[in-house]
């Protein structure tokens, strides 16, 4: 059987259509995985930003309570703060401790709107004013 040298050279130097299709399928699976990973990273970064804003509001409320010369009244107080372009609702619950000189204060912060799932909780102890 006679085989043309031109034909045998071409078949040995190139890829078949099937090989190219398999390579493209593998590449597309890898590319889709990378796109999903990028989307997850973007969502995680946004969530982290919202969580840090909630913690910042909680710490700001704690500083206001600690720096106020008047002792907090026992029970729950609350308010709303604007931080990072978002509204945050906070509650501060003051309760007695075993030590009569200290008041325990639980601060809870919840976001509103898009940040509604973001929360922060902080506990502090404040001396009772004499």
Domain layout of the chain by residue ranges = 5-127
Q: Is the pLDDT of residue 122 over 90?
A: yes
Q: Give the separation between CA 130 and CA 125, rounded to whole angstroms.
A: 15
Rg of the chain's alpha carbons, rounded to an integer? 31
35-74 tens-digit pLDDT: 999 988 888 887 787 788 899 999 999 999 999 999 888 9
Q: Which CATH superfamily is domain 5-127 in?
A: GSPII I/J protein-like (3.30.1300.30)
Q: Report pLDDT for 20.
A: 93
Helix (H) or strand (E) holding 95: strand 86-96
Model pLDDT for residues 5-45, shown as the tens digit of each residue: 655 555 567 889 999 999 999 999 999 999 999 988 888 88
Which H or E run includes 37? helix 17-67
pLDDT band, residue 116 (cuts 50/70/90): confident
Cα distances (angstroms) measured from residue 71 to each of 53, 86, 97, 104: 26, 29, 14, 11
């Amino acid at each position: 059987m006679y085989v043309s040298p031109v034909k045998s050279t071409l078949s040995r130097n190139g890829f078949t259509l099937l090989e190219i299709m398999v390579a493209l399928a593998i590449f597309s699976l890898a590319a889709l995985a990378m796109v999903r990973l990028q989307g997850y990273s973007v969502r995680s970064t946004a969530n982290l930003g919202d969580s840090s804003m909630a913690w910042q509001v909680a710490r700001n409320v704690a500083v206001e309570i600690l720096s106020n010369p008047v002792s907090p009244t026992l029970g729950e107080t609350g308010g709303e703060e604007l931080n990072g372009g978002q509204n945050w609702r906070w509650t501060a619950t003051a309760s007695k401790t075993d030590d009569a000189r200290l008041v325990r204060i639980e601060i809870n912060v919840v976001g509103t709107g898009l940040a509604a799932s973001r929360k922060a909780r902080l506990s502090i102890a404040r001396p009772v004013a004499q």
